[in-house]
Amino acid sequence: MQQPPDLPLTHDLVLIGGGHTHALFLRQWGMRPLPGARVTLIAPGPTAAYSGMLPGFAAGHYARDELDIDLIRLARFAGARIVLGAAQGIDLNTRHVILPDRPPIAFDVCSVDVGITSDMPALPGFAEHAMPAKPLGRFAARWHAFLQRPEPPLVAVLGAGVAGAELAMAMAYALRDRDAKVTLIDRSDALETIGPGARQRILHHMQDLGIAVLTQCDVTAITKRAIQLADGRTVKANFVAGAAGARPHDWLAETGLALHNGFISVNAALQSSDPSVFAVGDCAHLTRSPRPKAGVYAVRQAPVLFDNICATLSDGAMRPYHAQTDYLKLISLGGKSALAERFGIPLSGSMMWRWKDHIDRKFMNRFRDLPVMGLADLPAVHTTGLAEAMGNKPMCGGCGAKVGKRALDDVLATLPTGRRDDITPLPGDDAALLHTGGARQVMTSDHLRAMVEDPVVMTRIAAVHALGDIWAMGADPQAATVTLILPRLSEPMQQRMLLEIMQAANSVMNDAGAQIVGGHTSVGSELTIGFTLTGLCPKPPITLAGGQPGDALILTKPLGSGVLMAAEMAGQAKGTWIAGALELMTQAQGMASRLLGQAHAMTDITGFGLAGHLQGLCAASGTGARLNPEAIPLMDGALEMARTGVRSTLFTANRSLVPTLPEGGAADLLFDPQTAGGLLAAVAAKDADATLKQLCAAGYPAARIGELTHGPVQLSLTTGG
């Protein structure tokens, strides 16, 4: 649920970490946001794994994606911006969260839910030859690859707490049909945190699974094939997993907050020693009622955190969190069997597994069954044509919000031609060629309606997008002015957003060799970021008009940003797809432009899609073109979304530009508007392979996608080649 557009934002709430408490907080915020507050989620990645289902995944009961909470989709539902990165610190004096590779993020109220980390990587050989159970993504990939290996599996799990025992039993079950050996190792006794009855049952079950349990053993080193113990023994292992050594993150010690053994001390209201900073989950220590680190506490803290943060932001009354004295423990036993324990009474069997499976799936479904954002209802009485003008879905941002090419061309055709002799018209190109004191200079302007909530990422996309017109002409970026429309914000938040935007813009422009020399700001209904740029041409610019029949067509970025952002806005895209798309959209094309400096013709693929921009190149060059659709690179998830009928709002206008091409599925992506898309270059066929090799070596996912043909101006598809 988005904030009402007519209310200004006055306070910044920053959530550090995508733990279970924050995930539940965002779900509740999406259903009942506090007007005037902007929420920012800082998370290391686009998903957060639910640890309760990790053993079931290792045993083969769950698919990998069943374990993930999609934080990007959840943030969209909550109307929050998401920043992908791991926090490195909190500056209480300036009220800033410190992250790598971006400006600090200011807050009025902050909450920390970063969980715990492991000290196992400090163990000699662990980083090279072992794998912690968290983060789940890396562990899952390594475990999947290990299961495919033909050699006899020799598995060791370090840490004989409940988590380590569950993981060992799951792995033993997954390897039950192979000549496997699983060893559980701990410096203390096994399963110390549960009652004696449950402990004995699990130990007997591990014995039945053939798991060797070694306790009171110190590990001194890990090698490629073995684990060295302090008493001189060696345990053979070709897969070592770490489920021990849990400790607080190091950076918490530098915050100045009161800590208990490195964890943030919080009162009954979940506030730290600084009342504006809350802490929840495993990274927090409950000073009045200390409890063990367990997910059940994190889940029950969520509604209290929600109420108390809202109270802090609105001068309301706080309420205390009351932690239960004991809780139900459900422990996976490898197969579809589990053990339940509460108040020292253990019960085990398949019924307990079904119970645990039901609880886990119910928890995860809370993040999958999110309402999809739709259009507001029209007034009962309205003008004719209003429903058709509104369309049947929210308007896209980025290049999906552009005016269609035909409408634009019709208007431009009515304007008189220029009369200055120091300007050379370049029909079809987005930049003009100026002659200033003997120098060749190109100039262009572009702006984007925001399509992501994070102004830093949006600024990077807008800057790369605007620079594309300069790079497409083979020019060197020179000077830039910035045009900003900010949403309604309080004065402190205006300053914060301006600082983030300008620092991000300055970084991109400096890296491109350009300098920001001025600009203009105003306030409107939503964030819009634009740039006017000049570039210097050390040689004649590369235009649309130089393509020759037989030239190879090289594309430097995959297609799909339009359909993916439309799917994300509708709550249909996976967060990992969106994270990948944003990374591609922020990839600068300066080096690609230099490597394509000998191209006969070049353009950047933006709002009119690959088909529309290629048709413009063909029209200017007097050629046709043949595309190999199988060679065209696509962003992850783009084809899946296109096949389900997801389209950007500009699709229909783009499709009408080239009606001869087929429609549906992958063909639709030829008309997908791209934001900060790649360069499309017509290169002499003899140079194409070498140029493509150089582009790929420079980190561009480039591909040879077709060739120019003798006229007439027509696009066609072929296969192979």
Please work out, in degrees rounded to the nearest 5, the angle formed at the alpha carbon of residue 180 by the alpha carbons of 175 and 186: 95
The pLDDT, as a whole number, for residue 661 is: 86
The pLDDT, as a whole number, for residue 374 is: 54
> What's the whole-number average pLDDT of the chain?
89
Q: Amino acid identity of 694?
A: Q
Cβ(408)–Cβ(616) below 8 Å: no
Q: Which residue has the higher pLDDT, 236 or 135?
A: 236
C-alpha closest to that of 534 among 439, 456, 607:
439
Q: Structure tokens of 610?
A: 């690959």
Least confident interval from 95-109, 391-405, 441-455, 503-517 = 391-405
The pLDDT, as a whole number, for residue 223 is: 94
Q: Structure tokens of 448?
A: 């984007």
DSSP string, 100-113: TTS--EE-SEEEE-
At 80-94, the pLDDT tens digits run 999 999 999 999 999
The pLDDT, as a whole number, for residue 3 is: 47
The pLDDT, as a whole number, for residue 313 is: 96
Q: Structure tokens of 15?
A: 């959530």
pLDDT at 12 over 60: yes
At 189-219, the pLDDT tens digits run 989 888 899 999 999 999 999 999 999 999 9
Q: Which residues of 68-106 are buried (b: 16+ CB within 10 A; e: fewer)?
A: bbbbbbbbbbbbbbbbbeebebbebeebbbbbeebbbbb
pLDDT at 376 over 70: no
The pLDDT, as a whole number, for residue 262 is: 95
- Place 395 in a pLDDT band, splitting at 50, 70 and 90: low
Polymer length of the chain: 721
As a whole number, mean pLDDT of residues 601-616 equals 94
pLDDT at 34 over 70: yes
Give me the CATH code for the 420-541 domain, please.
Answer: 3.30.1330.10
pTM of the model: 0.89
The pLDDT, as a whole number, for residue 299 is: 86
Residue found by looking up tokens 């900010």 in the block: 486
| Paired strand residues for 71 | none
Q: Give Cα separations from 466 to 241, 243, 528 (angstroms).
A: 47, 48, 13
Least confident interval from 49-53, 168-172, 242-246, 361-365 = 242-246
Least confident interval from 146-160, 431-445, 638-652 = 431-445
- Place 172 in a pLDDT band, splitting at 50, 70 and 90: very high
At 411-421, the pLDDT tens digits run 555 666 666 77
The pLDDT, as a whole number, for residue 23 is: 96
- Look up the CATH superfamily of 11-116+248-325: FAD/NAD(P)-binding domain (3.50.50.60)
- Place 275 in a pLDDT band, splitting at 50, 70 and 90: very high
Q: How far apart are the first and last CA of the chain?
A: 48
Cβ(282)–Cβ(298) below 8 Å: yes
- Fill in the DSSP letter of residue 67: G
At 644-682, the pLDDT tens digits run 999 988 888 888 888 888 888 888 999 999 999 999 999
The pLDDT, as a whole number, for residue 721 is: 41
- Place 427 in a pLDDT band, splitting at 50, 70 and 90: low
The pLDDT, as a whole number, for residue 416 is: 64
As a whole number, mean pLDDT of residues 589-598 equals 96
Widest CA span of the chain, in angstroms? 93
pLDDT at 406 over 60: no
At 303-351, the pLDDT tens digits run 999 999 999 999 999 999 998 877 788 999 999 999 998 888 889 999 9
The pLDDT, as a whole number, for residue 402 is: 54
Percentage above 90 pLDDT, the chain: 70
Q: Structure tokens of 677?
A: 């898309």
- H-run or E-run covering 479: strand 476-486
Please work out, in degrees rounded to the nearest 5, the angle formed at the alpha carbon of residue 253 by the alpha carbons of 318 and 257: 30
Least confident interval from 154-163, 548-557, 590-599, 659-668 = 659-668
Cβ(66)–Cβ(53) below 8 Å: yes
As a whole number, mean pLDDT of residues 470-486 equals 95
C-alpha closest to that of 707 among 597, 547, 556:
547
Extents of the domains making up the chain: 11-116+248-325, 120-245, 420-541, 544-721
Please work out, in degrees rounded to the nearest 5, the angle formed at the alpha carbon of residue 343 by the alpha carbons of 337 and 349: 15
C-alpha closest to that of 721 among 702, 705, 700:
705
Cβ(269)–Cβ(321) below 8 Å: yes
At 104-124, the pLDDT tens digits run 999 999 999 999 888 787 889
Rg (CA), the chain: 29
Cβ(640)–Cβ(593) below 8 Å: no
Q: Is 245 helix (H, G, I), strand (E, B) or coil?
A: coil
The pLDDT, as a whole number, for residue 418 is: 64
Q: Structure tokens of 633?
A: 């690179």
C-alpha closest to that of 604 among 657, 674, 550, 549:
674
Catalytic residues, by residue number, are: 399
As a whole number, mean pLDDT of residues 486-512 equals 95
Residue found by looking up tokens 């431009």 in the block: 412
pLDDT at 379 over 60: yes
Cβ(167)–Cβ(193) below 8 Å: no
pLDDT at 284 over 70: yes
Q: Structure tokens of 110?
A: 């902050």
The Cα–Cα gap between 710 and 595 comes to: 26
Percentage above 70 pLDDT, the chain: 92
Q: Which residue has the higher pLDDT, 229 or 720?
A: 229
As a whole number, mean pLDDT of residues 686-708 equals 97
The Cα–Cα gap between 407 and 404 comes to: 6
Cβ(588)–Cβ(514) below 8 Å: no
Q: Give Cα separations from 214 to 217, 259, 403 (angstroms).
A: 7, 34, 69
As a whole number, mean pLDDT of residues 379-396 equals 66
pLDDT at 399 over 50: no
Most confident of the ranges 62-71, 241-250, 411-420:
62-71
The Cα–Cα gap between 568 and 576 comes to: 11
Sheet harboring 219-222: ordered strands across? 219-222, 226-229, 234-236
502 contacts: CB under 8 Å, gap ≥ 6: 482, 516
CA dihedral 490, 495, 496, 497 (to 10 degrees): 90
C-alpha closest to that of 672 among 578, 717, 583, 605:
605
Same fold, 11-116+248-325 and 120-245: yes
Q: Structure tokens of 601?
A: 């013709």
pLDDT at 59 over 70: yes
Topology (CATH level 3) of domain 120-245 = FAD/NAD(P)-binding domain (3.50.50)
Crossing angle between the packed helical segments 350-368 and 20-31, to the nearest 10 degrees: 50
Topology (CATH level 3) of domain 544-721 = Phosphoribosyl-aminoimidazole Synthetase; Chain A, domain 2 (3.90.650)
The pLDDT, as a whole number, for residue 518 is: 92
The Cα–Cα gap between 490 and 497 comes to: 11
pLDDT at 248 over 50: yes
